[in-house]
């Protein structure tokens, strides 16, 4: 165990909201150039195809361990990435990471409803936690994750990769600086053909919800980081065309949202209809949009005034991990703390409640 | 007065729904090439800039009269369009059209809440009525218009010009023939900077509502003619940033809608933010969209498969009037009967009710 007494405690609501990196990373804090070790917890498609390759491109991180329930995957990954045997864990043994100084961060990439368990295990083992979106399946469980990391004096980050992508960052700048006037009406949607019917995303107990939880969260995030505000009222309708495949979760859901400034959003998420992948921010003197906005690459932007909104491609997974590592090294807050993930879960819960009850939900 | 005994009556719900042109047009029915005379009722900007010029381009109509409350406008229009003095009416004298065989159709272009009065006057004078959108400010008043035209055995049409525009018609074909699969999710929005604060559109008593009634109706129409279905449930939120200008009517309103097939729509309307003017129909195997979709010209279409969605420009006002005249001459139903206008008013009333009460409204 690391020396808890060396850590500074953080006080006050503002600090808590920021989830500032109040924590020394022990000996490693003295070596800012050292790459932080990341253990991937959950070796599904996302870890395999996106995150592990991205870790090869990071400046401040390296793949240092894995947590998996599959001995085959364990062996395959250990060989492929030349990992020491002691850095290969199962979900039952991951608490032993406490003794493994090679691992600084656990990136939780398991099904949504397992994020709490794996975050708590990682935090209690003294590791910082970076967690895939959505943070968890309920506000209460998100709060427990935040509390667990706070108690262990570890940072908790939510994997909102778009926040580290230059097109999105430029759109946030355009919105904040009101280059085209204040943002007034946002249209945002993300729909995918979710694929195989036997995946965990379609099981409510593991996912907590369907299209909204998995892809709608990108559109919801966009409405929040473009307005810089929190929605105060949402309404929603949900529809299904395949009641068998989408028996347990939402196939398609659309929602509207009110923001305190008078901004308004209309949005959709779908597990059935691909090709919806955009946002458009309509401002008082024009608009800007990204389409595609949320894919792993190929982001394209445009503005009503014809000025370019184009940047070189980045690996968003690498960018978000490098930022998280720098936050840890430099003891500054991440822009994607657990509280940010919790807030989206809170709003998504309200959207589901609206669709279920037929009432506008005040947040 | 025309000879009512020569007219055939129409029976049955289906016929009533179609608002079939069951009516002989008297002597003119024997002269199919004769242009039908149109009296413009209300000489505001739309009549001046769009409809009167369009009438010069029609094949089956001609400007044959005017109804205005302004003696200056009366004189100006009479001279400009070489109208006989007897075809110039005020709102108080328009009932005398009954004696004027030069006028076959009255095109009602007055503020929304006056449509009923002017439609009843025109119908009772034996004229067919073509009426600007929205048809009226309540379902009840729309029904009274329909009833008045039915009692007078005259046709009632709603000025949904997009229905006569080839890009929109091609989109309807794409939807019906499911060329890209069934339509599943529609995004549609229309926003304009409404302009001067002293106009009737901002007075609730005259308009019945703001952005939704005036421009949102285009987006709503699109969701209906693209799905070919009626929404069964709507939710909505309304926001304001200028509570003075938009004291009486909605500035910005967004809504969602459920359709029986499982199609879903997310939409917006605004009197504050221009540049929103599109729809996009997301189908099971791709999408098609128009943007701009609702302007008087310059309609542009695109499809996910890259195939062209482009047609020569037409004058939509001329096209809709020619169609209405042909319907009268050929004794066939219009695709934009009063019932179509009423249905949109019914749904818009539900959208307003949802925004006001915070409840999803079942239609």
d(CA B128, CA B118): 12
| pLDDT > 60? residue A18 | no
| pLDDT > 80? residue A26 | no
Is residue A132 within 8 A of residue A46, CB to CB? The reply is yes
| pLDDT on residue B33 | 74
**Which of residues B34 and A190 earns the better pLDDT score?**
A190
Q: Picking from A25-34, A120-129, A174-183, B275-284, which range would have the lowest pLDDT averaged per residue?
A: A25-34
Of A256, A268, A275, the CB nearest to B286: A275
Of B191, B235, B265, the CB nearest to A185: B191
ipTM of the complex model: 0.90
Cβ-defined contact of A257 to B235 (cutoff 8 Å): no
Print burial letters for A4-16: b (CB count within 10 Å at least 16), e (below 16). Answer: eeebeebeeeeee
d(CA A206, CA A209): 8
d(CA A62, CA A47): 14
Q: What residues does CATH 3.30.360.10 cover in chain A?
A: 166-312+344-362
d(CA B123, CA B7): 14
**Which of residues B67 and A16 earns the better pLDDT score?**
B67
Cβ-defined contact of A236 to B256 (cutoff 8 Å): yes
pLDDT in tens, A279-301: 999 999 999 999 999 999 999 99
- Tokens 């894995």 -> residue: A66
| pLDDT on residue A32 | 63
| pLDDT on residue A33 | 74
∠ CA B350-B351-B352, rounded to 5°: 90
Walk along chain B (363 residues) and give the pLDDT tens digit of each residue.
333 333 333 333 333 344 444 444 444 444 567 999 999 999 999 999 999 999 999 999 999 999 999 999 999 999 999 999 999 999 999 999 999 999 999 999 999 999 999 999 999 999 999 999 999 999 999 999 999 999 999 999 999 999 999 999 999 999 999 999 999 999 999 999 999 999 999 999 999 999 999 999 999 999 999 999 999 999 999 999 999 999 999 999 999 999 999 999 999 999 999 999 999 999 999 999 999 999 999 999 999 999 999 999 999 999 999 999 999 999 999 999 999 999 999 999 999 999 999 999 999
Helix (H) or strand (E) holding B21: none
| pLDDT > 70? residue A203 | yes
Cβ-defined contact of A236 to B253 (cutoff 8 Å): no
| pLDDT on residue A286 | 98
**Distance from the B291 Cα atom to the nearest Cα atom in chain A, whole angstroms:** 13
Q: How large is the average pLDDT for residues A67-87?
A: 97
| DSSP SS3 for A309 | coil
With the CA atoms of B125, B128, B134 and B135 taken in that order, what torsion angle do they form, in degrees rounded to the nearest 10? 60
Of A187, A255, A258, the CB nearest to B268: A187
With the CA atoms of A70, A76, A78 and A80 taken in that order, what torsion angle do they form, in degrees rounded to the nearest 10? -150
Q: Which of A45, A47, A41, A48 is nearest to A119 (CA)?
A: A41
| pLDDT on residue A248 | 98
**Which of residues A270 and B32 earns the better pLDDT score?**
A270
Of B235, B270, B283, the CB nearest to A256: B235
Which residues of chain A neighbour B241 with C-beta distances below 8 Å? 182, 184, 261-262
Of B191, B237, B270, the CB nearest to A256: B237
**Distance from the A211 Cα atom to the nearest Cα atom in chain B, whole angstroms:** 13
- The CATH architecture to which B31-160+320-332 belongs is 3-Layer(aba) Sandwich (3.40)
**In whole angstroms, how large is the CA radius of gyration of chain B?**
20
Q: Which of A182, A158, A164, A160 is nearest to A313 (CA)?
A: A164
Q: What residues does CATH 3.40.50.720 cover in chain A?
A: 31-160+320-332
| DSSP SS3 for A183 | strand
| pLDDT > 50? residue A302 | yes
| DSSP SS3 for B29 | helix
Strands A61-67 and A88-89: parallel
Q: Which of A33, A44, A203 is nearest to A132 (CA)?
A: A44
Which residues of chain A neighbour B351 with C-beta distances below 8 Å? none
Q: Which of A255, A277, A257 is nearest to A265 (CA)?
A: A257
B344 contact partners, CB below 8 Å, separation of at least 6: B133, B134, B135, B217, B220, B221, B224
Q: Which of B227, B229, B219, B232 is nearest to B178 (CA)?
A: B227
Is residue B106 within 8 A of residue B42, CB to CB? The reply is no
| pLDDT > 50? residue A137 | yes
**Distance from the A309 Cα atom to the nearest Cα atom in chain B, whole angstroms:** 18
Q: Picking from A40-54, A251-265, B3-17, B289-303, which range would have the lowest pLDDT averaged per residue?
A: B3-17
Q: Which of B352, B337, B164 is nearest to B269 (CA)?
A: B352
∠ CA A100-A161-A116, rounded to 5°: 50
**What's the CATH number of domain B166-312+344-362, 2.60.40.1730, 3.40.50.300, 3.30.360.10, 3.40.50.150?**
3.30.360.10
Counting DSSP H helices and E strands in chain B, the numbers are 12, 14
**Distance from the B187 Cα atom to the nearest Cα atom in chain A, whole angstroms:** 9
How many CA atoms lie less than 13 Å away from B85 in the CB half-sphere?
A: 0
| pLDDT on residue B356 | 98
| pLDDT > 50? residue A16 | no
Q: Which of B325, B334, B337, B336 is nearest to B32 (CA)?
A: B325
Which residues of chain B neighbour A235 with C-beta distances below 8 Å? 235-237, 256, 354, 358, 360
| pLDDT > 50? residue A2 | no
| pLDDT on residue B32 | 63
Instruction: Report in angstroms the alpha-carbon separations of A243 from A123, A141, A240, A272.
Output: 39, 28, 6, 12
Which residues of chain A neighbour B237 with C-beta distances below 8 Å? 233-235, 256-258, 264, 360
Task: Indicate the pLDDT class of residue A20, thresholds 50, 70 and 90.
Answer: very low
Is residue A340 within 8 A of residue A158, CB to CB? The reply is yes
> Closest-CA residue in chain A for B359?
A359
Phi and psi torsions of B117, nearest 5°: -55, -45
Catalytic positions of A, written as ranges: 133, 218
Burial class of residue B206 in the structure, from the number of CB atoms within 10 Å of its CB (0-12 exposed, 13-18 middle, 19+ buried): middle
d(CA B214, CA B134): 7
Cβ-defined contact of A254 to B185 (cutoff 8 Å): yes
| pLDDT on residue B31 | 59
Average pLDDT taken over every residue of chain A: 93
Catalytic positions of B, written as ranges: 133, 218
Which residues of chain A neighbour B359 with C-beta distances below 8 Å? 358-360
Q: For an interface test with A, which of B193, B194, B216, B254 has the most A Cβ atoms less than 10 Å from its Cβ?
A: B254
Q: Strands, DSSP E only, in chain B?
A: 36-41, 61-67, 88-89, 105-108, 128-131, 156-158, 183-191, 233-239, 252-258, 264-270, 276-283, 286-290, 301-303, 361-362
Which residues of chain B neighbour A270 with C-beta distances below 8 Å? 184-185, 282
| DSSP SS3 for B182 | coil
| pLDDT on residue A31 | 59
**Distance from the B255 Cα atom to the nearest Cα atom in chain A, whole angstroms:** 6
Q: What percent of chain A has pLDDT over 90?
A: 91
Q: Which of A262, A230, A362, A182 is nearest to B250 (CA)?
A: A262
pLDDT in tens, A305-320: 999 999 999 999 999 9
> Would you state the structure tokens that stand for residue A240, as one six-digit string?
């299904």
Question: Can you spell out the DSSP letters for A63-79?
Answer: EEEEE-S-HHHHHHHHH
């Amino acid at each position: 165990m690391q020396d808890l007494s060396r850590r500074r405690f953080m006080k006050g609501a503002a600090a808590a909201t920021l989830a500032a990196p109040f924590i020394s990373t022990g000996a490693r804090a003295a070596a800012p150039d050292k790459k932080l070790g990341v253990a991937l917890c959950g070796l599904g498609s996302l870890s395999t195809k996106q995150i592990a390759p991205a870790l090869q491109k990071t400046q401040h991180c390296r793949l240092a361990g894995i947590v998996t329930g599959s001995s085959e995957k364990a062996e395959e990954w250990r060989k492929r990435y030349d990992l020491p045997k002691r850095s290969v864990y199962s979900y039952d043994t991951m608490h032993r990471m406490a003794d493994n100084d090679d691992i600084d961060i656990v990136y939780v990439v398991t099904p949504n409803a397992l994020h709490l368990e794996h975050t708590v295990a990682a935090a209690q083992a003294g590791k910082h936690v970076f967690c895939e979106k959505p943070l968890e399946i309920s506000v209460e469980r998100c709060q427990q994750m935040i509390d667990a990391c706070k108690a262990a004096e570890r940072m908790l980050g939510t994997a909102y990769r778009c926040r580290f992508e230059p097109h999105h960052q430029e759109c946030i700048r355009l919105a904040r600086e009101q280059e085209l006037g204040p943002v007034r009406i946002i249209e945002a949607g993300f729909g995918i053909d979710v694929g195989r019917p036997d995946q965990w995303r379609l099981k409510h107990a593991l996912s907590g919800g369907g299209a909204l939880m998995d892809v709608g969260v990108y559109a919801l995030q966009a409405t929040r980081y473009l307005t810089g505000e929190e929605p105060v009222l949402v309404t929603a309708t949900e529809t299904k065309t395949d009641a068998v495949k989408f028996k347990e979760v939402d196939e398609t859901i659309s929602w509207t949202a009110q923001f305190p400034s008078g901004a308004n959003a209309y949005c959709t998420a779908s597990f059935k209809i691909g090709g919806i992948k955009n946002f458009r921010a309509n401002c008082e003197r024009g608009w800007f949009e990204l389409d595609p906005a949320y894919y792993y690459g190929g982001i394209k932007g445009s503005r009503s005034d014809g000025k370019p909104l184009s940047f070189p491609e980045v690996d968003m997974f690498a960018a978000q991990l490098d930022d998280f590592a720098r936050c840890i090294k430099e003891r500054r807050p991440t822009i994607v703390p657990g509280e940010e993930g919790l807030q989206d879960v809170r709003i998504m819960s309200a959207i589901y409640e609206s669709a279920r009850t037929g009432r506008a939900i005040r947040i």
